[in-house]
A and B are shown apart, each in its own frame.
Chain A
Amino acid sequence: MSRLSRRIRGLFIGGLGLFLLTGCWDQRAIEQRAIVLAIGVSADHHWTLLFPNVTVTASSISSLGRSDEFYTITAKAESYQKALHRVQLQASREVSTGDVQLVDLSARLTRGQLARIMDSMILTGAIPAQVWLAASQTSPSTLLMHPSPQTVVPVYNLSSYFDCPACHAADFGVRAWQWWDRAVTPGVSPVLPVFTETQEGAAVYQILVYPVQGKPLLMPRQATQGFAYLMGKVKSGTQKVNCDGTSYMISPIIDEATSRVRLTPTAVDVRIVIHAKGEMADMPAGLLITRAAERAIEQAAAARLVQLSRLAIHWANQTHTDPFGYAKRAAWLDNQTAAAISPQALATLPIQAVIRAHVKLQGEGLAR
């Protein structure tokens, strides 16, 4: 065989290998795919997959009715893989989960059930790790199709809710990898935001905390506010403050929280400092704000933040949970003490918190 023939044969085999070993052969073209935007899982293992209308184009958006923008396919299955298989049987296109943006889970699913669902989703490898996770107390299939006047297909309103953290009072968004990370780490109780259906679509006012054992616990609204301040998640908060018998509104509030933790054999000691800033959004007409009055309002607001934060700590102690992850941090800093505490018990340790808050009024905003 001549050198040229050998070279051509080598190039042919090499080129063929490069093409055959790509792993792209099971890919389907865009017109053969059913794009899944959201997945809902009910407590009785009904899996609901949400798809956009296949005829959505830029020119047809305005003519589509609210109920025509999306459609769902539901299947009852014990696992994610079986659910996908059964949904696939009902679909005329290949079900594509590479663009899932939200997984909505029933608030009645336990931490263990949720962990199994997440593990199976991760094992398929087809769902993006940055998908948003949320919980709902109503049926996920109903929530997924709950219309919103604020968005239009191809944007999905429930996922876009979390895409704009600064648009809401607090950023409660939890991505799949974050939940999975907290679920497998001792010393922290994973949380999920809970969607509540509203006329404008859906909103998050509370969070669901997953203890080590048992059903998830719904944190009360005020404690949820305190949780947001403690975790530095407040992006556009609002607080009504009473000072010397006068009512003031501070908004928008943005906070940062720093904490120092220490692990003892019986508790987690935490010193928390909350730094918040905001503007005076509302005050009585004609009232002249002096520097002294401003300081008094700041102190009143700080006291309110401390109060809310204590509520959150108190609720965590009552429920033997640690949604803040203080125990995890403390254990990491003092692994000798942590070695004496079982991983399961770490997140149930009582939290002894000393909380300070500083509020800085940056002006009077529109109230002037």
Chain B
Amino acid sequence: MDCKELEAMAAMAAMALDQIDQMLPEGAWYTPDIDAAYAHVQMSMGSSPDVILRKLNSPACQPDGVLLGYIDGLVDAQLVDSSIIAPLLKTRLAPSTWAHAMLLSGDIRPRRRWPEILHDLTQGRTLVFAPGLSWVWSIGVSKLPQRSISTPKTEQTIRGPDEAFNEVIAVQMSQLRREFSYPGLRFHSITLGRLQHTAVVVTYLEGLANPALIQVVVERLEHVAIDGRATGTLLSGLIRDHPRSIFPTMRATERVDTACHELLQGKVLVLIDGDPFALVAPSPLADFYRTALDYDEAWYDVSFVRVLRLTAWAVGVYLPALYIALTEVNTDLIPHSLLILTAGNHAGLPFPPIVEAFLMVFVIEVLREAAIRLPKVLSTTIGTVGAIIVGTVVVKAGIVSPQMIFVITLTALSFYTVPVYELTGTWRVVNIMMLIAAAIVGIYGLVLVTVWMIGSLISLQSFGAPYFEPLAPFRLSDWFDFLIRLPWTLMRRRLSDARPTHPTMMGPSMEEPPAHLGRGRP
């Protein structure tokens, strides 16, 4: 049985549970009757073959015995046998003392209400019903199927730690715990979803994260009312500022080291069960251009790469539109030699440059989509075939000029220098807007769209942090980790966007530094 089937089963069970829950009056209490409980569980869960209800003849509960209930596949069968069934078959202790004296599990809870009991059952816990006991023992022996911890797929690096979250929230929390080993690491759990229950955990460092920020994140999550399927994208779309804006105001990361870095900046993470991407709040635009590698490489190399990223952004957003503006409208602005060669390249072509541009954008997007959907072996082939088509055949067929191939290829490559994937789509939209404006009114159109873009960026916020900082508002202290990243010896302050309670992260500078950090040393 694979993970998807289990998820489907769990969803069905949760749905049925909720239906029962709606039918029951408020506060439907469990009554200590084994046969009634058996009937109740059967009625609630239906005739599902994975729901195991087994009566055991325990010496402590003669002559009625005890009722054991669990869902096959969600529990560790060996643990159920050794820690629950075997002791039950031998014990003569009173059922009320089993949690302390008999059952061999660390996670045992008494449950008195049927909704709780059935919820625990669907969560993979094992239930023990004993006659005369006014509650049910709910024992945590679940063993949920999970993917092993792997390397990140969307945020790769060449140096430093390379560990990604997986889908199980308990594992996500344990990964963070292991990284911190600090009691101030707090997990605030919230269950979302009316039909499909999803555990969501607000994570922060107590004493560092701003309490107002934590409160805002928790409040927004508590106001989420959905049936189910709480993924990172969905939750981000529901709790972020400006949910209809094309600019993402909440970042997601699958890297554990990035998550730790964000926590150390005083930010708040939202871990979601079933989604290996943790959401980060707040996330100003500059945050989308900070990668894990930026903190694992030499400061000068990182600074160079960041400037390169900015240049690539400008190329990706402006180059095709600039080419269209200069060839369709403002031809007088091109150096005359380039103008003559460009005109020569377009001689005999059936389409104007704007049609060529849209055609090539379409080809690139189709190739990209095909490469994502196909298996890796085939995607490589598609990429090669696509490159041949784009590079040679389209030009030789007289459909697109060679200059347009250069422009669109450089643009496509530039887009992929954006470290966070969701921003790529945003810049693609801006790029299309620029193209249309440039085709109609040339350079003036580029200026118009740029003014709109800057206006939008300045007006946005992310959980109280200005989205366009440190540019607007200008915050000099955050520039030290913006276009350039200063050497570690100079980076003593945290970024100000999360308004952490302690702004410094490296303590005061030493009055008498060690020799290797002394005055005059580079």
User: Judging by beta carbons under 8 Å apart, are B441 and A30 in contact?
Assistant: no
Number of residues of chain A lying within 8 A (CB) of chain B:
27
* B124 touches A (CB below 8 Å): no
Checking B332, B337, B448 against A154 with a beta-carbon cut-off of 8 angstroms, the contacting residue is B337
The digit string for B201-219, where 1 denotes a CB below 8 A from any CB of A, is: 0000000000000000000
Instruction: Number of B interface residues at 8 Å Cβ cutoff, please give it.
Output: 29
- Known contacts: A27-B330, A30-B331. The answer to whether A52 contacts B340 by CB under 8 A is yes
The smallest C-beta distance from A309 to any residue of chain B, in angstroms, reads 37
Assuming the contacts A19-B441, A24-B444, asked whether A31 and B341 have C-beta atoms less than 8 A apart, the reply is: no
Output the least CB separation between A99 and chain B (Å).
4
Q: Are B344 and A29 interface neighbours, CB within 8 A?
A: no
Q: Cβ of A30 and Cβ of B332 under 8 Å apart?
A: no
Please measure, in the bound complex, the distance between the C-alpha atom of A33 and the C-alpha atom of B327, giving whole angstroms.
10
Does A302 make an interface contact (CB < 8 A)?
no
Selected contact of B339 from candidates A18, A57, A99, CB within 8 Å = A99
Would you give the 0/1 interface string for A300-326, flagging 1 where the beta carbon is closer than 8 Å to chain B? 000000000000000000000000000
Decide yes or no whether A60 CB sits under 8 A from chain B: yes
> Residue of A at shortest CB range from B349?
A31
Contacting residue for A98 out of B331, B341, B344, B441, CB 8 A: B331
Chain B residues with Cβ below 8 Å from A33 are: 331, 343
Give the nearest-CB partner of B345 in chain A.
A57
CA distance A203 to B86 in the complex (A): 109
The complex places the Cα of A101 from the Cα of B336 at a distance, in Å, of 9
The interface residues of chain B lying within 8 Å CB-to-CB of A55 are 344, 347-348
| Contact residues in A for B332 (Cβ distance below 8 Å) | 96, 98-99
Q: Which residues of B contact A52 (CB under 8 A)?
A: 340, 343-344
Contact across chains for A24 and B442 when beta carbons are under 8 A apart: yes
Contact assessment for A24 and B329 in the assembled complex, using a CB-CB cutoff below 8 Å: yes
Chain A 40-62: CB-based contact to B (< 8 A → 1; otherwise 0): 00000000000011111110100
Looking at the assembled complex, report how far the CB atom of B85 sits from the nearest CB atom of chain A, in whole angstroms.
65
Q: A95 in the interface, Cβ–Cβ < 8 Å?
A: no
- Asked if residues B352 and A31 are in contact (CB atoms below 8 Å), the reply is yes
Interface check B353, CB cutoff 8 A: yes
Partner of B346, one of A18, A31, A58, A155: A31
Which B residues form the contact surface with A (CB < 8 A)? Answer: 327-332, 336-349, 352-353, 402, 440-442, 444-445, 448
A-B contact sample (15 more), CB < 8 A, given A19-B440, A22-B441: A24-B329, A24-B441, A27-B329, A27-B442, A29-B327, A29-B329, A29-B331, A31-B343, A31-B346, A31-B349, A52-B343, A54-B344, A57-B341, A60-B344, A98-B332
Q: Can you offer 11 A-B residue contacts whose CB atoms are under 8 A?
A: A27-B328, A27-B329, A27-B331, A29-B329, A31-B346, A35-B336, A53-B344, A56-B344, A99-B339, A154-B336, A154-B338
A positions within 8 Å CB-CB of B: 18-19, 22, 24, 27-31, 33, 35, 37, 52-58, 60, 96, 98-99, 101, 153-155
